[in-house]
Each structure stands twice: as C-alpha cells, then as structure tokens.
Structure 1
Amino acid sequence: MAQSQMLEDDVTIVTGGSSGNGRAIARQFATEGSDVVVADIRDSPREGGTPTHELIEEETDAGATFVECDVTSVDDLENAVDAADEFGGVTVMVNNAGIFHGEEFLEVAEDDFDRMMDINVKGVYFGAQAAANRMVEADGGRIINLSSIAGLEGAGDFVTYCGTKGAIRLLTYAMAAKLGPEGVRVNAIHPGLIETTMTTDDVEIFGTEAESGYLETIPSRRSGQPDDVADAALYLASELSSYINGESLVVDGGMTNTQ
C-alpha cells in the first residue's frame, strides 16, 4: 500500500491498541505517517500474531511503542500520554479500549456493572482528559471515542453495554462543545457488527445461527472488518474532516437506520 502520509507529523495514542479495532487503527495510522503509542493491558493480540507496536516497526517507517495501560487507572492513562512525548507529544487520542459483558438485566451484578462502567466510560473520560490537557497547551488536537450502534438504540439483552456506549456518545458531544474553542476536535465512531474477538469469543455471534440473522438486517449484506473502523478513524483524524466536530460516525453497513 502506498503511503499517502495523511497523518505525517502526528503522534497517536490508541487505547486497547493490541487487538481488534484498536490494532487496525494503530497500523492504519502508522501507514499514514503517525507515530503510535499502543496503550493496552497486554501487548500480545487476542487474535494472535506479532505485537502491534513491533508489527508497525516492521511494516512502516513510523515510530511505535507499547505502554502497559489499564484504562480504569488515571495514572496509567497519564503515563500513556507521557509516553507520546518520546515522539513529540500526543496530537491524536483514540479511546478505543472497551469490553462487552451481556447478562439478563434483572440479574446483572453490581461488580459487573461497575467494571463495565469503569472500562468503557471512565476510561474514555479520563483518557480524553489526559490527552486534552496536552492538546490545549499545544493549541490543537483530535480525540476519537469508540462507541457502538448500541449507543444509538436500545437492546434489551445488552442493557449495561448500551448504557456505557450511550454515555460515550453524549460525552463526545459535551467534550466537543468544551474543547472546540481550544482547537481540539472530538468525534465518536459507532461500529456495528465488526468481526473481532469480541464478536467471535465474547458475544459469540460469528459461526452461530445468530450471524445469518444479523447479516439479513445489514443492507450491505456483510459484516464489518476492523479495517472499516480504522478507515473511519483515519478520516476523523485527518484534515479531510477539519470542519467536523461533535459528530457520531456510524460504521455499520446501513444496519441502524434501515431497520
């Protein structure tokens, strides 16, 4: 793939960048010229293979490093932002880390609720805050928060998950209002059915009867791939979206708005 260098001179932090959508985003951004900090609780991809930061160094001329980061820890998020200083300081923050935990609403345990809120919501909030403090000092930057189509509409089997992803959507709007005057754009991506370890292992959609049922609701008649999400993130990080702020970009093959 020819390098167009759309993100030349950028430094990107990707939480949850070792696997799935985060891995695809980190690799795509590096291909386009950005140095990358992969911030995750583990460097080995859930899907297997070479650690993301090592793969970036093999595939591109971009700089890359891994930082162990539990997004429920504000200190870890601050450390990830500090790690970006090696390359000149963060200019793009991708708050991608998240988990799925589906349970019957009437049986959800408090510990499970708290864990999902801590990772999916607290991690985004304080990841954005840590990056924004540097970006405001530098007179600009871009923050991309990964939500879900579950943050746009309710699903009775995923009440807690929908709550976290809906919170990310509204946090994005509020952050955009606050940070826009400081030169920092904040947008959200809402992926639909994307084939990652979350949907193959955690939710177990692919390879089951549920997969064909979901595909019938998607006008594009295919599931999404992590590269589809990475392409959307690249658009929001690049100057192609310079006048887009506080937006929800849906990446679902038309599933949400056609049912």
Structure 2
Amino acid sequence: MTDWLASDVAVVTGGASGNGREISCTLAEYGADVVVADLRMEPREGGQPTTELIESEYGQRAEFVECDVTDSEDLQRTFDAAETLGGVSILVNNAGITENRDFLDETEADFDRIIDINVKAPFFASQLAAERMIDADHDGRIVNIASISGIAGRGNGVVYSASKGALRLMTYALSASLGPRGIRVNDVSPGVIETSMTRNDLEMFDSGAAEEYATTTPIGRVGTPNDVANAVLYLVSPLAGFVNGETLVVDGGATNSWGGIAGED
C-alpha cells in the first residue's frame, strides 16, 4: 500500500460512524495517524470503535475525542489531541446533520441548529486547524463534506440546502485565503450514500426514495461510504497537489445528467 500520508495527522469530525468512519480508516490505511472527533465512540452501524479498528487493522496511532463541534473548547481539545500525534496537517469537516421537513414547518431553532453544526462549526474548526498548520509549517489540507443539496436545492430540506451551499462557497473563499499560506481547501459533495443516517434517520431505503435516486444515476446505484472516503483520499493525497478551491461531486452522475435530482448525503 502506498504510504501517501505517512507523515500526516488527520482530524476527522464525526469520524466514529458512517462516512466519517470510512474516511478515518481510509486515511489510516494510507499512513495517517487519526484523531476521531465525535459525540460517541461507538459506531452507529456497530463493530469496533473506529480508533481501535485503525490501530488493529492499519497499525496507525488513533485518538478519540468526545467532541461537540459547536463547542469551541471541545474543538480546542480535539486539536490538542492532534498535537500529541505530531500536529494536524489534514482536517476533514465531516460532522453534519440533515433534515426532511417542509419549509413551512421550519422553526428558528431548526435553522440555528443546522447552521451551527453544518456551517459555523466547520468555519471555526478550519480556523483552528489553519493556525496550527501555519505555525508548524505543515503542508495543510482541509476537506469539507458538503452535499449535492448545496448545488441543486432540495424542497424538503431548505435549511440543509442553504447550509451545504454556504459550506461549498466557504470552501472556495478559504482556498483563496489559505492557499498562499500553503493550505489547500476543497469539498466533496455526495449524493445519496447508504449510511445509518440515510437508512434509519431519513428512512430513505424503507420509503423507496433511495431506489428512486438510483434510477437517476447513470451508474444505477446509490453511493457507499467508501466512495466518499476515496474522494477525500484523492484530495488530500499528492495526486491532488494542484487542486484547490474545487467541489468533487460524488453522486454517480445524478446531478449533471438528464433527470438528475438533488439527493441527500
């Protein structure tokens, strides 16, 4: 296996389950030590905690930090944990929440919660990471996990679409701000990915919505966490050394093909 990331320390928010778990393990597979920041250590889908899996399967160092990404002290503790491993050089802002709600039923509390987690938290996590990357003179990389709902609006998730659109534009602005300081910033925008969130919280598979989505993709299926993790791996690897301020859409072609829809990551 290529040790593309052998000198890197990655922080993955929401790294205990779903896409974040797969991202954490994939980065470890390619040589990174990983700080998994999440509200709970146990993966929602079951199995070994992600940090234990990283250590046993890939032989990399891993630390778990119980972290509410909207809490500045928790974020500080997360990056302090990265310092014990050598200092953050990769940040994946993966933690996020979604919704399936009619616009007329949205409340101010709904709005604030989604924006706080999906926009405000990545902003300040990126700021803390960038400060440390610059101080340590690291070749820094930040990847935000956005969504195709931030490209094509979704009527039953207006606040969610607004938050992911904001995150995508934040990515571009950060790339302009941090690129001259040696930090590349990109985003991955998934379509429907089969995770506990889409299966259990949104009930997309029981309702048939996921199957309907699959018919809109030229590839004819929904995505997997591995699809998202491989996209992140590319963006933080040496292969993407001249890629900055870009959106990598991982949706099987649904958004840009005839009959494409705005799905849910």
TM class by shorter chain equals over 0.9
The one-letter code of the counterpart of 1:114 is D
Q: Which one is further off, 221-230 or 204-213?
A: 204-213
Corresponding residue of 2:103: 105
Query: Structure 1, residues 111-157: CA drift from partner, whole Å, max 9, x if none?
Result: 11111111111111111111010111123300000000001111111
For residues 187-206 of structure 1, the aligned pairs below 5 Å read: 187-206=186-205
CA distance in 2, matches of 1:210, 1:92: 34
CA distance in 1, matches of 2:161, 2:98: 10
For residues 24-173 of structure 1, the aligned pairs below 5 Å read: 24-139=22-137, 140-173=139-172
Corresponding residue of 2:237: 238
Shift of 1:199: 0.7
Structure 1 gap ranges (5+): none
CA distance in 2, matches of 1:209, 1:153: 21
The one-letter code of the counterpart of 1:211 is A
CA distance in 2, matches of 1:209, 1:119: 28
RMSD over aligned Cα atoms: 0.9
Corresponding residue of 1:209: 208
Corresponding residue of 1:249: 248
The one-letter code of the counterpart of 1:187 is N
Corresponding residue of 2:178: 179
TM-score, reference length from structure 1: 0.97
Query: Structure 1, residues 224-251: CA drift from partner, whole Å, max 9, x if none?
Result: 0000000000000111000000000000
CA distance in 2, matches of 1:228, 1:43: 23
2:194–2:224 Cα contact (<8 Å) kept: yes
Corresponding residue of 2:19: 21
The one-letter code of the counterpart of 2:225 is P
The one-letter code of the counterpart of 1:251 is V
Q: Which runs of 4+ in 1 moved over 3 A?
A: none
2:172–2:186 Cα contact (<8 Å) kept: yes
CA distance in 1, matches of 2:209, 2:179: 41
